């Protein structure tokens, strides 16, 4: 297990020693400051708009960091040939995958947590109301989303090139986020195959609880949150097993 954490720690060091992360951080800070000071004259319910844009930015920036990072960790290792020295150590290939996954996930979670924290500060400051449970649920759902997205991207990167991985990951994410709910009926018209495709696709739409926070709706029941976490864990596990299968077969 120590080896897995060492690989993960190495990845964290990489992101914190690169400039990309800080550029995005600065950009988001500027946008949030702008939102805080924006005066939407004539628009009622200005907080809702602010929260919608703010939350959208938090998710978008987290995606911008996590997807390319998860897509490149395995590909870079092979392309730069650092994988040779790494796999010559007493490690299994699956340990390398898990280490890379944990490192990518940590980076994704860290950036999301930081962006979300900034958003909470900004929105509470502007609105003066703190609905703790709703913020918590949106935050946990966001972490689950990143868990699935990171595992899926890493799995794709074992089979595809960098650009294909990024394109596919974003395509699947946006398609499922926007149209995932409607897929159920259309895919169920095709008997076995449609159902198989429906269950094989990652249902990112499950994790989108943002509207509850924006419109201050009721929080979702605890069992739904538990089911979300369980789904995210199971789906990520399946993705990692797929990645293991592909990586074990590969000649380096």
Partner 1 sequence: MSNEVLILKEVSVTYRGKAYSKDALRNLSLSVNRGEVFGFLGPNGAGKTTTIKSILNLLYPTQGSIFVFDSPSFHPRVRQRIGYMPEIAQYYWYLTPRELMMMYAGFFGIKKNDALRKIDGLCALVGLEKEAGVLMKNFSKGMMQKVSLAQALINDPELLILDEPTSGLDPVARMKVRDIIKDLKAKGTTVFFSSHELSEVELISDRIGILNAGRMVTVADMKDILSQKGHRQSLERYFLDIITKEENQ
End-to-end CA distance of the chain: 24
Long-range Cβ contacts of 11-15 (<8 Å, 24+ apart) = 11/73, 11/99, 11/100, 11/103, 11/104, 11/106, 11/107, 12/103, 12/106, 12/107, 12/110, 15/69, 15/107
Q: Which is nearer to partner 1, 1 or 43 (CB)?
A: 1
- Name which of 31 and 87 has its Cβ closer to partner 1: 87
How many amino acids of this chain bind partner 1 (CB under 8 A)? 23
Residue 6 binds partner 1, judged by CB under 8 A: yes
- The pair of structure tokens assigned to 190 is 């095709």
Least separation in angstroms between residue 239's CB and partner 1 is 23
188-211: burial string, b at 16+ Cβ within 10 Å, e else: eeeeeebeeebeebbbbbbbbbbe
Q: Which of 89, 178, 197, 226 binds partner 1 (CB under 8 A)?
A: 89
Smallest gap from residue 3 Cβ to partner 1 (A): 5
Residue 12 or 224 with smaller CB distance to partner 1 = 12
- Cβ atoms of residues 173 and 86 within 8 Å: no
Show the site string, 229-248: x = touches partner 1 by CB under 8 A, - = not.
--------------------
Residues within window 68-87 making contact with partner 1, judged by CB under 8 A: 80-85, 87
**Residue 169 burial class via C-beta count within 10 angstroms: exposed 0-12, middle 13-18, buried 19 and up:** buried
Decide: is 22 part of the binding site for partner 1 (CB under 8 A): no
Smallest distance from partner 1 to CB 252, Å: 4
Closer of 68 and 194 to partner 1 (Cβ): 68
- Report the residue number, 16 or 136, with the smaller CB distance to partner 1: 16
**CA dist 217 to 133, 181, 185, 212, 213, Å?**
11, 20, 26, 5, 7
Residues that bind partner 1 (CB under 8 A): 2-3, 6, 9-10, 13-14, 17-18, 80-85, 87-92, 251-252
């Amino acid at each position: 297990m120590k080896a897995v954490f060492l690989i993960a720690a190495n990845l964290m060091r990489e992101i914190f020693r690169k400039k990309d992360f800080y550029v995005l951080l600065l950009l988001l800070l500027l946008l949030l400051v702008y939102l805080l000071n924006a005066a939407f004259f004539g628009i009622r319910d200005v907080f809702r708009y602010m929260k919608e844009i703010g939350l959208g930015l938090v998710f978008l920036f987290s995606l911008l960091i996590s997807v390319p990072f998860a897509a490149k960790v395995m590909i870079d290792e092979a392309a730069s040939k650092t994988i040779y020295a790494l796999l010559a150590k007493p490690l299994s290939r699956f340990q390398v995958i898990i280490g890379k996954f944990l490192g990518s996930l940590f980076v994704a979670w860290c950036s999301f947590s930081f962006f979300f924290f900034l958003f909470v500060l900004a929105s509470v400051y502007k609105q003066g109301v703190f609905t703790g449970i709703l913020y918590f649920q949106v935050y946990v759902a966001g972490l689950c989303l990143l868990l699935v997205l990171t595992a899926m991207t890493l799995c794709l990167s074992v089979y595809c090139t960098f650009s294909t991985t990024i394109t596919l990951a974003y395509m699947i994410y946006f398609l499922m986020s926007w149209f995932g709910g409607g897929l159920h009926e259309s895919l169920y018209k095709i008997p076995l195959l449609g159902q198989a495709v429906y269950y094989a696709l990652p249902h990112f739409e499950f994790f989108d609880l943002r509207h509850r926070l924006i419109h201050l709706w009721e929080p979702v029941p605890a069992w739904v949150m538990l089911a979300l976490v369980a789904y995210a864990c199971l789906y990520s596990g399946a993705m990692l097993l797929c990645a293991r299968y592909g990586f074990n077969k590969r000649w380096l």
